[in-house]
Structure formats: structure tokens, C-alpha cells
Structure 1
Amino acid sequence: MARTQALPIQIATGDPRPIGKQIVDAVRMRIATGELEPGAQLPSVRGLAQQLTINPNTVAKAYAELTAEGWLESRQGLGLYVAPPRQRLSAAERDRRMDEAIQAFVHEVAALDYPPDRAIARLDKALGVLAKKSA
């Protein structure tokens, strides 16, 4: 039986994203990078809420979103576990989201007045965490 893993995430009060979105993004990233492997048990709603000192309803909503998207699976009476890998989105939806993310990135970089080569180097470094997983 899988043991519950501590969920090493932090909530940033200065982050413009809502707390629930920060939780969802952090769990997705840990699954995508392999830090949370399929079958790993997540902390209970109450446990994560206590760890982060936030309202349990916020954690419950984040977990519900991750479950609906297929990142997590609920096992009756046992808790939440990382779901086995599968394609969660259609190719068209993946392309749409990638285009949206790229546009947001380009707009932010332009507003910061970064030269493209420097921005690409930083992006390449940041994406290195994903390359480690596929290696």
C-alpha cells in the first residue's frame, strides 16, 4: 500500500493567482516532473489545509479540479492518489493551451523589455525540469 507523501508546496501571498490555483499548479508540476509518481498518496484535505494554514474548502476544491482533470484518482475510503499517466487533453486543446501560454509569456517578456535571446535561454533553463523526466 502506498504511503502518504508530504506535499512540499508553498503558497505565495503576493502571487496574483488564487490559493486554489497555486495548489493545482504545484501538484500538476510535481506530477509532470515525476516528483509525485503514479500511485503516490496525497495528504488528506484537512492535512494539507493544516500544513498550508488555509481553509480546507480551498484544498477540497483544488483536489476536486485535479481529480476531474485526471491527475488524481479517489479511492473510496483510502484517499487521493496520483493517477496513472494518460493523455488528459485532446490534441486541439493541448495546442490551444500551448498557444495561450506562449502568448502570455511573450507579452510578459515584452513588458519586461527582455531581449529574445535572453528570454529563450531562461525559458530553456526552466523547461530543463521537464527534460530530466523524459531522460
Structure 2
Amino acid sequence: MQLKVTVNGQVYEVEVEVEEEQPPALGIFMAGGTFSAPAAAPVNGAAPAGDGEGVRAPLAGTVARIPVEEGQEIEAGTVLVVLEAMKMETEITAPAAGTVGSILVKPGDAVTGGQLLVELG
């Protein structure tokens, strides 16, 4: 691109090379549906689950329902917690078969993305 620039009354012709910026990527957005949180992968820099495996919230929201109980035997894909965010429900499912250890939230609790919800045994 050719530009004319005036400095102290002196006109200069300048050639400028312009690089086009890439628009920012929006990333992945999941509206509703089912989400299986990885057991060992911390989300948003959160601390690891500890000694046992745990299921973390993939997004911020409010706990709508908890259809399992501590000590219950579960299969992979069993719904552990239902979160509500922006009037949409997201089912958080078990990544593998096992036993529900501690349930760390209760209906009505506000949770943040990456927060540990359920420990599995």
C-alpha cells in the first residue's frame, strides 16, 4: 500500500506492507446434550482430583439434579449430575464403570467449570 506522509512540511511517499489479522477462533460450544468429563484431566487449571478418580464440571452452572447415590454401582455413561446453565440442561456422565464415592455438590449449588462434582471409586 502506498501512503503519503507529511513530516514538518516535507511530503514523503511511503510503501507499507499490511498483514491481515486472522479473526479470533470461538472454540467449541456445546448446547445441551451429554458430556463425559475426563477423569484425570484437570479443567481450567484446577487441581487434580486427588487419590481417586473424579468427575468435574465442564462448564459453570447450577446443579439441577443428582440421579445417583453414594455407594451406587454405575456403568460407563451413567448420568451422575445434571447441570443447568442458561436454561439448558447438560448431563454429566460417568467416564467408566465403577462405584460412586463422594458426591461433593447438592441440587441448587452453583458450580464453576473444572470444579470436582463426584469422586468415583
Highest CA radius of gyration, 1 or 2?
2
Work out whether the TM-score is over 0.5.
no
Q: Which has the higher contact order (CA 8 A, sep 6+)?
A: 2
TM-score, structure 1 length as denominator? Answer: 0.26
Higher helix share: 1
